[in-house]
Amino acid sequence: MGELGLGLQKIIKAAPSKALVIRINLVFLAFFLVIYASLLLRPSSSAYFQNTASLVRCSLRECHHKVEKGVKMEAVLEETEAMKPKRKRNLTMLEVPSFIDEIGGGVKIGMLNFEDEDYSEWEKHGETIPIHFQRVSELFVWKDLFPEWIDEEEEIDGPICPEIPMPDFSKYDDLDLIVAKLPCEYPVDGWARDVFRLQVHLIVANLAVKNGKRDWNWRTKVVFLSKCRPMLEVFRCNDLVKQEGEWWYYEPEITRLEEKVSLPIGSCNLALPLWGQGNDEVFDVSKIQQATSTAKREAYVTVLHSSESYVCGAITLAQSLLKTGTNRDLILLLDRSITKPKRDSLKAAGWQLRFIKRIRNPRAEKGTYNEYNYSKFRLWQITDYDKVIFIDADILVLKNIDLLFHFPQMTATGNDIWIFNSGIMVIEPSNCTFKLLMNKRKEIFSYNGGDQGFLNEVFVWWHRLPRRVNFLKNFWANSTVETGLKSQLFAADPPKVYSIHYLGLKPWHCYRDYDCNWDIGDQRVYASDVAHQRWWKFYDAMDEKLQQQCGLTERRKIELDWDRKMAEKEGFQDEHWKINITDPRRNFLIN
C-alpha cells in the first residue's frame, strides 16, 4: 500500500508537466499553420516576371502599363523602389551659378544627369525634380546614327533609325528651368561624336519643347554644366545668355527647337523624304511647305575668291537658279581678284555682289588650293538674311529647291562615312557663329584640309537631304549598273535630280566634245559624257554675252592637248583621246 501511494504521487506530479508540453506543441503547430496559410493566400509575383520584357521595351519609348489582375506595374515598381534602403554615397556638392538669382525663386527645376551630385543648394531657389532616363548603351556608336549609306530610294525596306532612350515626358510638367550635366571627353579623339552626349542634348531639347514654360517671347530657360561648349547644332550660339565657368545659360526659341527635334535623330533617315510612306509616289513637298512658316529674308549664296576660274560656273549657277522660278535673292561673295568685266557679267547673270576679305586656312601651305578656302566662313556674316542656302559654283540646278529653306542648319547631303558634303548647305547666319568658327581655325583638324572637313567637326549633328538634291558626278563603284543608272538620271528630261555637282575637272575647263576627266588617270571616276552634255546644253541656252565668260585661255588649251597625248600614251581603252575636237572656243581664246 505504501509503494502504491508513492507511485500515485509521482504520476500526479508528472501530469502537469505533460500538459505543459502538449500546450507548447499546440502553440507551435498553430504558428506554423498561420504561416502556411499566409503563403497560400499571398498574391503571386508572377505578374512582374510576365511584364519584364515589356518593361525593357517601354524603357525606350513613352508608354504606360495597363492594370492586369489588380496589379499596376508602375505602382509596384515605385513602391519597391521606395522600400529599398537609400544607398549612402559620397556626393559632390553642386554649386549654384550666380545668374540663377536673376531667374528668381519658387521655380520648378528639372535636374538631368546629376546622380553623383548633391544639389540640395538648388532647393533654395525652388523645387528640384530629378529627370529619370535610361542611359544609351555603350555599344551604340556614332555610325549607327550617321551611316555612310542608307536606302534612300526604298529599294529594299527603306531607311531605319535606331532609338535613343527618352524619359517619360508626361511626368514632368511646367518646368521653369532645365539643368543638365553634359558628358565631355575632350580632348579624346572623336569626343564630339559621343552618342551619350547627344542623348543628353536631345532629352533637354525635348523637355524644353514638351515641358518647359515659355516666356512672352516664346523662349524657355536651359542651363548646362560642361567643360565643353554645348552642341551648336542643337542650342544655337545666339541663344546663349551667359557663361560662368563651366555653366552655360541658354534661352532657346521653342519654335526652332521644335523644328529640330521633329527631324530624324541622325542621317540614318532623310529629313526630306523622296517617296510617300507606304507607296511608290513622289513625296508631296507641299506638306512641308504648309507645316513650316516661310522666313521673310532668304537667299541663295555662292563664294568666289583668289581666282577667276569659277566665274563661268557661277554664271551658269545663277542662270539655272532663275530658270527654276525662284524669287529668292542671289548673293555672291567675292574678293578683289575678280576683275570688273567679270563682275559685270556676274551681275548680268543675276548675282548681287558683296565684297569680302579672304580668310586664310592656317594649316594650308602657301599657294595651295586650300589656302583661302576658309573664306566660306563669311557666309555666317550675311546676317541681314534669316537663312541662306550655300551652293558651290560647280553645281547646275535643274529643279526648284526653295523647299530647302524650310529646314534648319545644318542640312546637307551625305558624302563619306558620317561626313556631309558642303556643296549645298542650309545655313543660319550669325555673327556669334562666325566668331566661333574663326576661333577654332587653329584648333580643328580638317580631314581633307578644306572647309568641308572643318565644318564637319563643328556641325557633327546634321540632317540628311536626298542625294538627288546634290547629285555628285562620280562613279566610285565603277560598275555597269552604276554607270547606267546615273547616266539615266543625268539625262532625264524633265529632270529627276535637283542638281548635278560637277566633281573633278569642270565642263567649261574641257572641250565641249567630251568630258576631259577621261584623259587623266585619277580623275576618270568623275568622267561622264552624259552629264557633260547636260551642262553644255544649258550653256547653249544662255545669252551670248554670258557665254563669253566661259572661254578657254591659251594655257588651258595647252593643258588639254597635253592631257590628250598622255591619255593616248597610257592607252586608255575608251579612246576619248581619239575624238576629233570641234569646240569653236579652241579658235577664240580669251586672255
User: Is 27 exposed, middle or buried, given 0-12, 13-18 or 19+ CB atoms closer than 10 A?
Assistant: exposed
All 3 cell numbers of residue 204?
A: 533637354
Burial class (CB in 10 A: 0-12, 13-18, 19+), 309: middle
Pick the CATH number of 92-262 from 3.40.50, 3.40.120, 1.10.287, 3.30.160: 3.40.50
pLDDT of 126 over the 70 cut: yes
Q: What is the mean pLDDT of residues 410-435?
A: 96
Give the pLDDT confidence of 454-479 residue by residue, as tens digits.
999 999 999 999 999 999 999 988 78
Rounded Cα–Cα distance for residues 199 and 202 (Å): 5
CA distance 71 to 299: 60
Share of the chain above pLDDT 90, in %: 72
**Once rounded to an integer, what is the mean pLDDT over residues 127-156?**
93
In the structure, what pLDDT confidence band is assigned to residue 273 with cuts at 50, 70 and 90?
Answer: confident
Give pLDDT tens digits for 146-168.
999 998 888 887 888 999 999 99
CATH architecture classification, 295-469: Alpha-Beta Complex (3.90)
Phi and psi dihedrals of 115, rounded to 5? -65, -25
- Mean pLDDT of the 298-323 span: 98
Distances from the Cα of 396 to the Cαs of 315, 414, 423, in angstroms?
Answer: 10, 18, 11
Report pTM: 0.82
Beta bridge partners of 92: 117
d(C-alpha 374, C-alpha 380), whole Å:
12
Q: Kindly provide the b/e burial profile for residues 531-567, where b requires at least 16 CB atoms within 10 angstroms of the residue's own CB.
A: bbbbbeebbeebeeebbebbbbeeebbeebeebbeeb
CA-CA distances (angstroms) from residue 68 to 13, 55, 74, 570?
62, 14, 11, 78
Cα three-residue angle 241-246-251, rounded to 5 degrees: 20
Average pLDDT over residues 220-241: 97
Q: Residue 327 — left, alpha, or beta (φ > 0 → left; ψ -120 to 50 → alpha)?
A: alpha
- The whole-number pLDDT of residue 109 equals 97
Q: What percent of the chain has pLDDT over 70?
A: 81
Higher per-residue confidence, 86 vs 376: 376
Q: What is the pLDDT of residue 275?
A: 56
Pick from 135, 171, 204: nearest CA to 63: 171
**Rg over CA atoms, the chain:** 35
Q: What is the pLDDT of residue 156?
A: 82
Mean pLDDT of the chain: 85
CB 436 within 8 A of CB 232: yes
Region(s) of the chain under CATH 3.40.50? 92-262
- Band the pLDDT of 262: cuts 50, 70, 90: very high
Q: Is the dihedral of CA 458, 463, 468, 474 positive or negative?
A: positive
Among the residues of 373-450, which ranges form H helices?
431-439
CB 256 within 8 Å of CB 224: no
Looking at this protein, which amino acid is placed at residue 80? T
Query: Which residues have a Cβ under 8 Å from the Cβ of 37 and sit 6 or more positions away?
Result: none
Does residue 371 have a pLDDT over 90?
yes
pLDDT (0 to 100) of residue 30: 59
User: How sure is the predictor about 25, in pLDDT bands with cuts at 50, 70 and 90?
Assistant: low
Q: Could you give the CA distance from residue 81 to residue 72 in angstroms, rounded to a whole number?
A: 14
Contact predicate 223/245, CB 8 Å: no
The three-state secondary structure class of 486 is helix
Of 535, 519, 514, nearest in space to 583 by CA: 514
Calpha distance 222→214 (Å, rounded): 12
Position 155 scores a pLDDT of 80
CA 501 to chain centre: 22
pLDDT at 282: 52
pLDDT tier, 59 (very low <50, low <70, confident <90, very high otherwise): very low
- For residue 285, what pLDDT is reported? 57
Question: Which residues of the chain does CATH 3.90.550.10 include?
Answer: 295-469
Q: What is the pLDDT of residue 104?
A: 80
